[in-house]
């Protein structure tokens, strides 16, 4: 293989890898921001419970968590992703949707 053909081949491969890493970075940033917004909202809007209500709240929390996990399993099985929804909701959505293909 000629040196220039080899360089072009590796350059294309490196470009693909760079785009893939940029998508991963974007997804991690979306996840981090979504978690941060949720935690901030939850911490500022959830009042402290009296001690007597704690056991019932913990039981309800476990039930809700199980429901959350089941919903997550269903969503992942359908192939839906938060990053896809965000891409469609933003001005750059078409660009990010094309990158994912």
Structure tokens given for 31: 């996840």
Q: What is the pLDDT of residue 1?
A: 67
| Residue with more model confidence, 15 or 81 | 15
Tell me how far apart the alpha carbons of residues 75 and 82 are, in angstroms, rounded to a whole number.
10
Q: How far is CA 20 from the centre of its chain?
A: 15
What pLDDT shows up at residue 83? 74
Residue 25 to residues 12, 38, 75, Cα–Cα distance (Å): 20, 20, 22
Residue 84: predicted pLDDT? 77
Say how many C-beta atoms besides its own lie within 10 A of residue 99's C-beta.
14
Question: What would the pLDDT profile of 21-74 be if each residue is shown by its tens digit?
Answer: 999 999 899 899 999 999 999 999 999 899 899 999 999 999 999 999 999 899
Query: Model-level pTM?
Result: 0.59
Task: Say how far apart CA 23 and CA 83 lie, in whole Å.
Answer: 10
């Amino acid at each position: 293989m000629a040196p220039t053909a080899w360089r072009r081949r590796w350059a294309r491969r490196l470009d693909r890898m760079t785009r893939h890493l940029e998508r991963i970075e974007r997804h991690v940033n979306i996840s981090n921001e979504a978690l941060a917004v949720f935690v901030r909202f939850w911490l500022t809007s959830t009042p402290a419970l009296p001690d007597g209500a704690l056991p019932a709240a913990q039981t309800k929390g476990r039930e809700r968590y199980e429901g959350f996990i089941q919903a997550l399993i269903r969503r992942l099985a359908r192939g839906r992703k938060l990053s896809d929804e965000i891409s469609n909701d933003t001005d750059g959505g078409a660009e990010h949707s094309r990158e994912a293909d």
